[in-house]
Amino acid sequence: MSEQKWRVTVDRDICIGSGMCVGTASNHFTLVDGHSTPTSEVIAPDDTVADAAEYCPVEAILIRAADSGEVIAPQG
């Protein structure tokens, strides 16, 4: 049985470049041209990445289960 993977995307049209994601999960996000960019599109589950999606002030970060597409974060 394979380990679950997450797919991380950032909507660059929504992103305001606040840097909350980089401050929260610096191993997984970087700012490129003033917008958040995931360092990898598919990752092993990591609570700091889910936190970054939750903390994003404009909800530009979306995390889904790579296999099913189920939304992991943000919740709500």
CATH assignment of the domain containing 39: 3.30.70.20
In terms of residue numbers, what domain contains 58? 6-73
Supply the pTM of this predicted model: 0.93
Q: Is residue 1 assigned to a domain?
A: no
Calpha distance 24→67 (Å, rounded): 25
Q: Is residue 36 assigned to a domain?
A: yes
Q: Is residue 45 assigned to a domain?
A: yes
Q: Is residue 38 assigned to a domain?
A: yes
Residue 56 exposed, middle or buried by CB count within 10 Å (0-12, 13-18, 19+): buried
Give Cβ neighbours of residue 69 (< 8 Å, ≥ 6 apart).
none
How many domains does the structure of the chain reveal? 1
Q: Is residue 24 assigned to a domain?
A: yes
Amino acid at position 41, single letter: E
Walk along the chain (76 residues) and give the pLDDT tens digit of each residue. Answer: 468 999 999 999 999 999 999 999 999 999 999 999 999 999 999 999 999 999 999 999 999 999 999 999 999 7
Q: Pull the structure tokens for residue 45.
A: 């589950």
